[in-house]
Amino acid sequence: MKKGVKIVTIGGGSSYTPELVEGFIKRYDELPISELWLVDIPAGEEKLNIVGSLAKRMVEKAGLPIEVHLTLDRRAALKDADFVTTQFRVGLLDARAKDERIPLKYNVIGQETNGPGGLLKGLRTIPVILEICKDMEELCPDAWLVNFTNPAGMVTEAVLRYSNIKKVVGLCNVPVGIRMGIAKALEVEPERIQVDFAGLNHMVFGLDVYLDGVSIMDEVIEKMANPDTSVTMKNIVNLGWEPEFLQALKAIPCPYHRYYYKTKEMLEEELEAANTVGTRAEVVKQVEAELFELYKDQELAIKPPQLEKRGGAYYSDAACNLINSIYNDKRDIQPVNTRNNGAIASIEDDSAVEVNCIITKDGPKPISVGDLPVAVRGLVQQIKSFERVGAEAAVTGDYNTALLAMTINPLVPSDKVAKEILDEMLEAHKEYLPQFFQTVEA
């Protein structure tokens, strides 16, 4: 009999945690978790206690022998962990609001994981994830790191290149969101839809779509072009696509591609929102406040439906399915971020890609796609260049490297604008960027 599974969730005070707990409860028979440790930092202690109490009520209601521990002591939690999930936001939503607002001043897309916002989130996040990796090497060297923290692509790339943790998988809910969106558009059960995913995180394409194993690409392209049936996430405005563009592309873009192939319209929408309802982070702060009020209710012992208002809905399916399949060596197919190993020809072997993988007890085995369509492989390579240079800047704290990353991002129009944005954003996030502002010891 296998011992009970120890799960550690760093960023345990997140409003998403009830979805993760629900996912573990649903799968307990196959995935017998004995300990769930929710870890946060002192600034998140109140949230940790609110969410942690709800997690305990959910487990108790399910009548399962899962010990739920709440702690600010990451090292105590990590000891002998089997899986470590990471879902933290350095600087919280206020930092994200700056990532979304400052680029708009320069007529550049302001977004959580793309463009200047994605770079600065990476610069804030990567040093923290690498510290977590160092703790894991010492305290749970055989554990799997399952990372949700954004920008998940750049973060997974950084862990692969700058840590000794090789058992790392980057996760996102965009692929499951695309599959659910196509099923909804076609009015069929999601289980009947399969998608050949390939690309990078938030830069992934559906190279083919199957209904009961039969390719239905033409029908799906027609649905994707129509704003009424096109696929998006709660956090991305649904602008549809030009039918002829998709018909020529012969692949399904992900919702985030709108920032690259509809930049003009998305920027107009962002500027309008920033001057009216607020940026996405400012809107989400309201949703967060509502959720935590709900979570305080001692009578609540389920994941509240209001959580579906967040863009990250269904992420627990991705996380729990992955952990379950590794633990049980299920060898099912899931889209995850992992070392390319030749799966996508135009991306280097040792970089992280988001692609369908066979999930085994030894982790994801990427399924080769040959290559991406000629029309889009250049953008994917450019974003991979951006991720690699951004990760290097995060690790070195070198200003020029950060400027190089900002300048080569396709959403930034020139090196001059890149420098203006970078200078303002580094200053705005100073307290979370010690690698750029550490004073040289006299």
Q: Which is nearer to ligand G6P, 308 or 349 (CB)?
A: 308
Q: Could you report how far apart the first and last alpha carbons of the chain are, in Å?
A: 58
Which of 139, 174, 383, 405 is the binder for ligand G6P (CB under 6 A)? 174
What track of x and - describes contact with ligand G6P for positions 234 through 253 (by CB under 6 A)? xx------------------
Residue from 154, 254, 284, 393 touching ligand G6P (CB under 6 A): that is: 284
Instruction: Kindly determine how many residues on this chain lie close enough to bind ligand G6P according to the rule CB under 6 A.
Output: 13
Catalytic residue among 256, 260, 314, 315: 256
**Catalytic annotation present for 256:** yes
Angle between helices 415-428 and 92-101 (to 10 degrees): 160
The distance of closest approach from Cβ of residue 89 to ligand G6P in the complex, given in angstroms and rounded to an integer, is 9
Point out which span in 2-10, 187-195, 227-235, 328-336 binds ligand G6P (CB under 6 A). Answer: 227-235
The dihedral through the CA atoms of 90, 288, 177, 104 has a sign that is negative
Nearest 10 degrees: CA dihedral of 132, 137, 142, 146? 20
In the complex, least distance from residue 288 CB atom to ligand G6P, rounded to whole angstroms? 9
> In the complex, which residue's CB is closest to ligand G6P?
311
Give 136-170 as a DSSP string: HHHH-TTPEEEE--SSHHHHHHHHHHHSS--SEEE
280 scored as a contact of ligand G6P (CB under 6 A): yes
Q: What is the chain's Cα-based Rg?
A: 21
Q: Are strands 33-39 and 67-71 parallel, antiparallel or unpaired?
A: parallel
Other CB atoms within a 10 A radius of the CB of residue 413 amount to: 13
176 or 391, CB closer to ligand G6P?
A: 176
Residue (6 or 384) nearer to ligand G6P, CB = 384
Q: Provide the residue type at 146 as one letter.
A: V
Q: Which stretch binds ligand G6P (CB under 6 A): 44-52, 125-133, 309-317, 392-400?
A: 309-317
- 179 touches ligand G6P by CB under 6 A: no
Alpha-carbon span 246 to 127, nearest angstrom:
39
Q: Binders of ligand G6P among 129-158, rule CB under 6 A? A: 150
Near ligand G6P by CB under 6 A: residue from 97, 165, 172, 176: 172
| Type of residue numbered 355 | V
x-marked contacts with ligand G6P along 105-124 as a string, rule CB under 6 A: -------x------------
**3-class secondary-structure state, position 346:** coil
Task: List, in sequence order, the alpha helices (H) in 255-412.
Answer: 258-261, 263-274, 280-296, 315-327, 374-396, 399-408
Does position 418 bind ligand G6P by CB under 6 A? Answer: no
Torsional class of 89: left (φ above 0), alpha (ψ -120 to 50), beta (otherwise): beta
CB of 10 to ligand G6P, least distance (A): 16
Tell me whether residue 14 or residue 229 sits nearer to ligand G6P (CB atom): 14
Q: Write out the catalytic residue numbers.
A: 256
What residues make contact with ligand G6P under the rule CB under 6 A?
112, 150, 172-174, 233-235, 280, 284, 310-312
